[in-house]
Amino acid sequence: MRQSAGFILWLTGMSGAGKSTLSRALRERLESMRPVELLDGDEVRTWLSRGLGFSREDREENVRRIGNVAMLLARHGVGVIVAAISPYQGSRDEVRRMATAKGIAFVEVYIQASLDALIARDVKGLYKKALAGEIPHFTGVSDPYEAPSAPEVTVRSDAEPVEAGLERTLEALRARGLLPGAAAA
């Protein structure tokens, strides 16, 4: 792919895993190289997916909506960073298939952390409430989180610095010819 081609960089992981942290670092690094847009799951839920609940169907619809906006932007040469829990493998795969069918590169980044680490860094106490049964449909506690089966990049946010995940993710984009540097084979 040529450098001006848009792409979708999809960061998935449980609440508090570090998706927003890594996505902001990626945006900061990429802005000097190309047009880039960040679609953060919390902001999308406020503006694009208002009215959706947390049933499986609503969560899958949320992912489809995010994916559609990401594809529209990528089609116009924007590097789109999506930071969304997106808990179901099937809906992430659906977006990947649709993007690929349109010639848009899709790179999945799994931000992984142990439940103990997520609980320890949870300043809002959401995991504690979910474990106590006070929050229904909480991903990874009372609702499933399906880890990616074959992400292009895995980041262990509880075991490595943000910079390490940032560099591996940028290298994955370079390897596909989406950034300056090594060209895709």
Residue 86 among the catalytic residues? yes
> Which of 4, 49, 55, 86 does the annotation list as catalytic?
86
13 appears as a binding residue in the annotation: yes
Query: In whole angstroms, what separates CA 176 from the centre of its chain?
Result: 18
Assign residue 16 a region (left: φ > 0; alpha: ψ between -120 and 50; beta: otherwise): left
3-state helix vs strand vs coil in the chain, percent to 5: 40, 15, 40
181 appears as a binding residue in the annotation: no
19 appears as a binding residue in the annotation: yes
Cα(first)–Cα(last) distance of the chain, in Å?
A: 10
51 appears as a binding residue in the annotation: no
What is the b/e burial string over 1-13, where b = at least 16 CB atoms within 10 angstroms of the residue's CB? Answer: eeeebbbbbbbbb
15 appears as a binding residue in the annotation: yes
Cβ pair 74, 80 in contact under 8 A = yes
Amino acid at 185: A
Q: Is 148 helix (H, G, I), strand (E, B) or coil?
A: coil
Gap between the Cα atoms of 171 and 23, Å rounded: 15
16 appears as a binding residue in the annotation: yes
Cβ pair 11, 84 in contact under 8 A = yes
Q: Which residues are catalytic?
A: 86
Q: Which residues are annotated as a binding site for ATP?
A: 13-20
